[in-house]
Every structure is written in structure tokens, then in C-alpha cells.
């Protein structure tokens, strides 16, 4: 074999080498054991065509034989039958020695002494553990039986010995392997790439098992904890992005495991490619309308709502117009969320404004036809999925993990701290404002009237400044409007400024050491003030 010409590349450990194509290794013997049979016959046929011996077990051997191809069963190859209901099939020295042996005089002599032929290719994908545990009625025994033992062992052995052996875990890679085999063999660069993918594959598989066991059969005291002691994550890149928040930053979208909300998805129906910032704002737009009764619409700019409204059973177009009216200047270039299907009338209303994207659970055919005329508008269908139970955020060299803020308190049972009780319409608007407040960056103040946002004060260092900004941003008179604050008022000045703007009712968590002063201010101004007892910071 010609000496390999190489350059250094890192595979997560020490220095390894990158092939220049001069270390091609023909496939003379392959071990195949796959749960996913897609493309198996084509791969097996290509291997037989170049004279490779195929060794396989169970259903994989049957599928290869059905294709009219010669295959040696594992039990015949090892001289040992499958036992323990198939739990032990490939776990045999004749297979693993053939995979793990290096191409050295010493190892080759040992193989010859033991009558063990070398293996050049391992093709394995694992038992469908995640698909099994996704079933609502899955039992412990069913889950345990889908914990693959032999498969990961084969994969890890072949990946470890990628110097000589190629390993394939994804049918999407069959075409490249077939092409390489027919060209004379699999070279070092491809073997290393496949090995890296194989280690990621088994790591993700083990992570899924670890998460499920921790959640389902952990000790009682661990199960009672709000957050597990150890979190194992596998992140799968779903989409490369043009860049991150800014053009000089690389960016990509990685899906979380289902247990962390990875089943929550958006399907792009048309429009330009989504950007990093688009995805953040789409998430915010959907989170807002998820908290609204039908029909609800949000308008998002830089992850804050600059418009929102809802009408029980109302026309989506009318709700959108009311949401847009909150801050029409900021709505320009924003992202719209709607929690019902977008119809043609709403699509025509959307078309009147420059928007980056719109997200909804569906779009009528006529709506899609209208929106198609805005060629750059990203049209996104929200695919059904449970909201993520946890939120994760990088900080200080690690991840901050918390339970997602999914609950919203009913004001029906909230404490009225003021002398004056809120009226029915005020209570409805307070409920709406409180739902909106948790989606605005802290310090957050929102003003609402007629189940629509009127003014938003977001992300200020001083709560009274948020009140002043929310009132100043209002496009309509705020007399008779209500106000929500995501946390308590530390001083009465915020209430005084609200009164100057004509606010008639306030909802806030309460809990300040100066609550008495704040309540007294509300009473002086004839306001109703409701305490929820719950804070909704959004940093």
C-alpha cells in the first residue's frame, strides 16, 4: 500500500490525518445489521458486484437474501447461534477481532492464528428507541428491549479503527459509499468523516436512553426534582443560516431533543431563507398568540411585541389591523403571528405592509395565492407540537436551564388590593395586558384597551421610564386604558405617571416593601389595582 500523504485535522482528540485519496481500501468483507432497511438492497448489490462477502443477521440477512444476493448469516460465520431471544447475535470475537485489528504484522498474524478474516466495512443503524418511547402507551419492557447493545458496539469498534475500517450509520451516506467502493475503495478522508458521524450517532442514541431512564425509572427523590441533576443533550443541525445576529457571525439552527421542545417546529411554505433573527422573532410571535384566545394576532419587532390584539370569533383581518395600530411605525419590517388559519382577507391586509414573515397554524389556498405576490415574505406554518418544558440559554461557559414560563394566572382569583373593584371591561383588558406583559423584555410595562395593545415600554433599567415610554408610544388616547407591569412597583412614581396618562386599572404581582404606598397612590387616583402574586420577568 502506498504511503498516505496527509495534513493534520482534529477529530476531537489528538492529531489525525486527512486523506489525499491515496489510501483507498477495497471492501472485501462487510458486516451489515440495520433497523432501517432503506437503500439496503442497492448497497448490498454494489458490494457483491465488487466481490465483497456479506455477513449479516436476522432481518437484514433476510432482506439481502430476498434481493437474490449471497449473504452469510452471523451464526454460520461465528459458529455460535443467536441466543437470549436475539439479545446476543453479533457479540463474538470472530466479528469484533476482524473489525478492531490494525493493519500491522502483529495483528495480522494474530488474526491468521485465530482464523479470523478482517472486516473492511460495518453498516449499522440502531434499534428505534426514540420512535418506541414516543408512543404514549409504551411500557418499560418495550423501551428496554429497544436498547441496542450489539449495534452500538459494532459502530464504536469500527469508528475506533477508522484507520482501516469504514462505518456507515446513515442510509443517506450509501450513495457516496457505493461510488467509493466502485472506484476502488473507501479512502481515509471518507472513513474519518464517517467515523465522526458514527460517534455522534451513538452519543445521541445513548443520550436519548439516558434522558428517558432519568425521567421514567429514576429514584423517587430524583423524579420529584424540578430539574434533573444531569442533562444529556444531542443537538442536530437542521439548517445552516447565512449568518448569526450580524453578518460577521456564523449561525445555524440546531434542533433540541423532543424532551426539551425539539418536536416544536415551523414549516416554511415560501419566501426567502430564514435568518437567525427571523427564527428568534418567529418563536416570540408564536409564543404571544399561543397565550391568546382565538382569534389572536401579534406583531413582533426585535423579539418584543409592538402590536397584539384578539377578538373572540372575530375576523383575522380585523384583529391584525387592530394589532398593527398599536405601533404602525415599528410594525414595518416586523413578524406577524396568528393563532388561527390565515384567510384571503387577512392575507390582503398583510400585503399592505412590509413584513419579514408571518406564522400561523395554516393558510387557505387563496391566502397563499395573495401572499405569493410578496416574493420575499417568509410564510411559515406552525407544526403542532407541545411547548418546550424547559428553556436553555448560554451564559458563563455553561447553560442556564429553567422551566418554561408557560402558565398565565387567571385574574378571577387574583387579589384586588385597591378600594375600587375593576369593572368587567377593565378586567377583560387587564387579563389581556397581563398575558402580554410576560412576553415583553423587563422592565416591562404594557398599556391595553379594548383587548388590544396601546403602548409598550420594554427593557428599561427603570420601571417608571417603562411607564413613561409606554404612554408616549401610544397611538390612541390612553384615557380609560389599563396597565400591566411584569414585576412590582418599587415606588409610587410609576403609578403616578400612569394616572397622568389616564390609566384606570393596573395589574401587577405585588410584593414590594412599599406596596402600601403604591396601593395608596392607586386609591388617590381612583384606580383599580389587582395583585397576581406572580412575577414574569423576561431578561
d(CA 289, CA 191): 48
Catalytic residue check, 375: no
For 229-361, strand residue ranges (E) read 236-241, 251-255, 265-270, 296-301, 304-310, 334-338, 355-360
User: Which residue among the candidates 160, 197, 272, 351 is catalytic per the annotation?
Assistant: 160
Backbone torsions φ then ψ of 461, nearest 5 degrees: -75, -25
Backbone torsions φ then ψ of 247, nearest 5 degrees: -60, -25
d(CA 509, CA 530): 8
Across-strand partners of 242? none
Q: Is the C-alpha dihedral spanning 200, 202, 204, 206 positive or negative?
A: negative
Residues near 43 by beta carbon (within 8 Å), at least 6 away in sequence: 32, 123, 174, 177, 178
d(CA 397, CA 384): 33
Site of grid cell 395600530: 325
* CA distances to 31, 75, 399, 505, 535 from 391, in Å: 42, 48, 10, 32, 17
d(CA 74, CA 66): 17
Closest CA to 323 of 341, 339, 336: 336
User: Which residue among the candidates 92, 107, 302, 351 is catalytic per the annotation?
Assistant: 302
Catalytic residue check, 248: no
d(CA 116, CA 99): 10
Q: What is the DSSP letter of 225?
A: S
Helix, strand, coil share of the chain (percent; to 5): 35, 20, 40
345, 315 contact by CB (below 8 A): yes
Q: Is the C-alpha dihedral spanning 312, 313, 314, 319 positive or negative?
A: positive
119, 168 contact by CB (below 8 A): no
Closest CA to 334 of 401, 366, 288: 288
Tell me the CB-side half-sphere exposure of residue 475, using CA atoms within 13 A. Answer: 15
393 torsion bin: left (phi>0), alpha (psi -120 to 50), beta (else)? beta
For 3, other C-beta atoms within 10 Å of its C-beta total 7
504, 523 contact by CB (below 8 A): no
What is the b/e burial string over 160-198, where b = at least 16 CB atoms within 10 angstroms of the residue's CB? ebbbbbbbbbebebbeebbebbeeebbbbbbbbbbbebb
Active site residues: 160, 302
Amino acid at each position: 500500500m502506498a504511503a498516505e500523504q496527509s495534513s493534520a485535522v482534529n477529530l476531537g482528540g489528538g492529531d489525525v490525518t486527512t486523506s489525499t485519496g491515496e489510501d483507498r481500501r477495497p471492501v472485501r468483507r462487510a458486516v451489515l445489521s440495520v433497523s432501517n432497511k432503506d437503500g439496503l438492497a442497492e448497497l448490498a448489490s454494489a458490494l457483491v458486484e465488487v466481490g465483497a462477502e456479506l455477513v449479516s443477521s436476522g432481518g437484514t440477512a433476510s432482506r439481502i437474501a430476498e434481493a437474490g444476493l449471497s449473504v452469510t448469516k452471523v451464526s454460520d460465520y461465528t459458529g455460535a447461534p443467536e441466543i437470549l431471544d436475539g439479545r446476543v447475535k453479533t457479540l463474538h470475537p470472530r466479528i469484533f477481532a476482524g473489525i478492531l485489528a490494525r493493519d500491522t504484522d502483529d495483528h495480522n498474524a494474530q488474526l491468521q492464528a485465530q482464523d479470523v478474516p478482517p472486516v473492511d466495512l460495518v453498516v449499522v443503524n440502531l434499534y428505534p428507541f426514540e420512535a418506541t418511547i414516543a408512543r404514549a402507551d409504551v411500557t418499560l419492557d418495550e423501551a428496554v428491549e429497544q436498547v441496542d447493545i450489539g449495534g452500538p458496539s459494532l459502530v464504536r469498534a469500527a469508528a475506533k479503527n477508522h484507520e482501516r475500517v469504514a462505518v456507515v450509520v446513515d442510509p443517506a451516506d450509501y450513495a457516496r459509499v457505493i461510488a467509493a467502493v466502485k472506484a476502488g475503495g473507501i479512502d481515509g478522508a471518507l472513513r474519518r468523516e464517517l467515523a465522526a458521524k458514527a460517534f455522534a450517532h451513538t452519543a445521541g442514541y445513548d443520550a436519548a436512553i439516558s434522558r428517558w431512564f432519568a425521567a421514567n425509572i429514576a429514584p423517587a427523590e430524583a423524579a420529584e426534582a424540578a430539574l434533573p441533576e444531569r442533562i444529556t443533550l444531542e443537538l442536530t443541525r437542521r439548517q445552516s443560516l447565512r449568518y448569526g445576529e450580524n453578518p460577521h457571525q456564523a449561525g445555524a439552527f440546531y434542533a433540541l431533543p423532543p424532551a426539551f421542545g425539539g418536536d416544536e417546529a415551523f414549516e416554511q411554505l415560501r419566501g426567502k431563507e430564514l435568518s437567525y433573527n427571523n427564527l428568534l422573532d418567529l418563536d416570540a410571535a408564536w409564543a404571544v398568540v399561543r397565550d391568546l384566545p382565538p382569534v389572536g394576532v401579534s406583531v413582533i419587532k426585535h423579539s418584543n411585541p409592538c402590536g397584539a390584539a384578539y377578538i373572540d370569533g372575530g375576523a383575522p383581518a380585523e384583529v391584525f389591523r387592530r394589532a398593527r395600530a398599536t405601533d404602525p411605525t415599528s410594525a414595518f419590517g416586523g413578524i406577524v403571528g396568528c393563532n388561527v388559519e390565515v384567510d384571503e382577507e387577512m392575507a390582503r391586509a398583510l400585503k399592505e405592509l412590509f413584513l419579514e414573515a408571518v406564522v400561523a397554524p395554516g393558510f387557505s389556498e387563496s391566502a397563499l395565492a395573495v401572499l405569493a405576490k410578496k416574493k420575499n415574505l417568509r410564510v411559515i406554518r406552525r407544526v403542532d407540537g407541545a411547548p418546550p418544558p424547559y428553556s436553555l440559554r448560554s451564559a458563563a461557559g455553561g447553560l442556564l436551564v429553567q422551566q418554561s414560563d408557560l402558565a398565565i394566572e387567571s385574574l378571577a382569583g387574583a387579589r384586588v388590593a385597591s378600594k375600587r373593584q375593576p369593572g368587567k371591561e377593565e378586567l377583560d383588558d387587564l387579563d389581556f395586558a397581563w398575558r402580554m406583559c410576560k412576553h415583553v423584555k423587563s422592565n416591562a410595562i404594557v398599556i391595553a384597551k379594548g383587548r388590544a395593545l396601546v403602548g409598550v415600554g420594554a427593557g428599561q433599567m427603570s420601571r417608571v421610564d417603562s411607564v413613561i415610554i409606554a404612554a408616549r408610544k401610544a397611538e390612541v388616547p390612553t384615557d380609560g386604558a389599563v396597565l400591566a407591569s411584569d414585576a412590582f412597583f418599587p415606588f409610587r412614581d410609576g403609578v403616578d405617571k400612569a394616572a397622568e396618562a389616564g390609566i384606570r386599572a393596573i395589574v401587577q404581582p405585588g410584593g414590594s416593601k412599599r406596596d402600601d404606598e403604591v396601593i395608596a397612590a392607586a386609591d388617590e387616583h381612583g384606580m383599580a389595582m389587582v395583585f397576581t402574586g406572580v412575577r414574569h420577568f423576561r431578561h
